[in-house]
Amino acid sequence: MERLEIGLFGVVVMLVAVLLRVPIAVAMGLTSFGGIWLMMGSMPAIGITKAIPYEMIGDWNLSAVPMFLLMGYLASGAGLTSGLFNAARVFLNRVPGGLATASVASSALFASASGSSVATAAAFSRIAIPEMLKAGYAPSLASGSVAAAGTLGSLIPPSVLLIIYGLMMDVSISALFLAAVIPGILSGVVFAAMITLRCWLKPSLAPRQDLTTSWREKLALLRETWPLPLLIAGVLGGIFSGVFTATEAGAIGAFLAGLIALSRRALTFDMMRRALVDTAVSTSAIFIIVVSAALFSRFVALSTLPVWVTGQFQGLDTIWVIILICLLYLVLGCFLESISIILLTVPVLAPLLGTLDINLIWFGVLAVKLLETGLITPPVGMNVYVIKSSLGNTISLGTIFQGVTWFIVADAFTIALLVAFPALSLWLPSLMG
């Protein structure tokens, strides 16, 4: 077999293995090892397999992953996120669909601390959905808004997906974080606008609530929530001003989260132990996938598959290439989880993006936004199943998917804006110099 044929066959075998529920790390690792063996022999395959884990895990930039995860676990354990929904619902009380919009706003802030879409969806499925159902909201709107709002965790910095993309593409993580700020806010605003418009046109979706809250009570709610916005502003402000790098920002963010927890008398031994254990478990899972993906990248490069893919797209306008890549990500998002998709596609697409002179920072933000949409796209929308498992039989799976349909349309609008106006992603990084 020629190298290209081995490469194509390897990709097919790996995808079939994933569809058969083989763990993605095992599927990529074994396929890559076998493919390199076929192309180069046993000793080179063993040598590459021995060298790559050290090369990848020894990369200093990867230390940002456990630090940002620890920051999120400490912030959650300290109760910094507990009052977000209550504060948002009070200030958005008079807006049509105010509780659903409050879910989006509070999820965006929670996502900034956790960096995880699944964690955000799980948390607010227990906080926001019961409150909306109690207020008479349509089950599809209540569940759909929380499932969609949870996806903001993938894009709003700090984002583990952006860190991994930056390492794979050798792009500044600080620049990626800044590039994602405006698209992340835009996503939340588009969600909120869609909710407001729908509930204004069809009031039965979300009955109005007339809550009378004094300014003293509002200030008390703000006092409960101010540490989290301050933490996020400190981390992003330090990156933007150049005081520290994105890698250093993870450690500083974890340290600040610990100080805030200590000041609130929430930093107990048990809370710290849980945060450290959860961080270690999550980091180990991510790193195993990253190592397997690095081995897969080497296999793909040796097979000349990226060169072949680039040749297939020659002659097409850049916009058509972007549209085809968007469709590819949306289809993969129906079946695979986000980190796997990034690690699977980047080795193949990198040469093509370079040939077309596509800005890699802009593409990184676009790719993560597409992966966000995949988290709520049937038949395997991860966030939808997380909410279903949290709610039990309260709301059917079909009702949740019905609810997220409107948010998929809203995401399509946001994606179109990001493609049409690259400055939405590139303006803030340009100010860094």
Task: Dump pLDDT digits (tens) for 352-404.
Answer: 888 888 899 999 999 999 888 887 887 667 777 777 777 777 788 788 888 88
User: Among 34-48, 203-217, 294-308, which range has the highest average pLDDT?
Assistant: 34-48
DSSP 3-state assignment of 127? helix
Q: What percentage of the chain reaches a pLDDT higher than 70?
A: 89
Tokens matching residue 257:
């989260």
What domain range is 357 assigned to? 64-287+310-432
The CA–CA distances, whole Å, from 426 to 27, 54, 363, 422 equal: 36, 33, 10, 6
Instruction: Please tell me the distance from the alpha carbon of residue 275 to that of residue 65, in angstroms, as a whole number.
Output: 14
DSSP 3-state assignment of 317? coil
Q: Would residue 142 count as lying in a domain?
A: yes
Radius of gyration of the CA atoms of the chain, in A: 22
Q: Are 31 and 67 in contact (CB under 8 A)?
A: no
Count of Cβ atoms closer than 10 Å to residue 71 Cβ: 30
Q: Would residue 232 count as lying in a domain?
A: yes
Instruction: Please tell me the distance from the alpha carbon of residue 181 to that of residue 197, in angstroms, as a whole number.
Output: 24
Task: List the one residue out of 97, 25, 69 whose CA is nearest residue 279.
Answer: 69
Instruction: Average the pLDDT over 51-61 and give the result.
Output: 74
Q: Would residue 57 count as lying in a domain?
A: no
Q: Where are the alpha helices (DSSP H) in 58-138?
A: 64-77, 84-91, 98-114, 117-134
| 297: Cβ contacts below 8 Å, ≥ 6 apart | 168, 343, 346, 347
Q: Would residue 253 count as lying in a domain?
A: yes
Instruction: Average the pLDDT over 338-346 and give the result.
Output: 78
Q: Are 368 and 360 in contact (CB under 8 A)?
A: no
Q: What percentage of the chain reaches a pLDDT higher than 90?
A: 10
Instruction: Please tell me the total count of domains within the chain.
Output: 1
pTM for this structure? 0.78
DSSP 3-state assignment of 377? coil
The full DSSP string for 400-422 is HHHHHHHHHHHHHHHHHHHHH-T
In this predicted model, what pLDDT tens digit does every residue of 127-141 receive, in sequence order? Answer: 778 878 887 888 888
Instruction: Please tell me the distance from the alpha carbon of residue 100 to that of residue 84, in angstroms, as a whole number.
Output: 13
Continuous segment of H or E residues that includes residue 393: none
Instruction: Average the pLDDT over 35-54 and give the result.
Output: 83
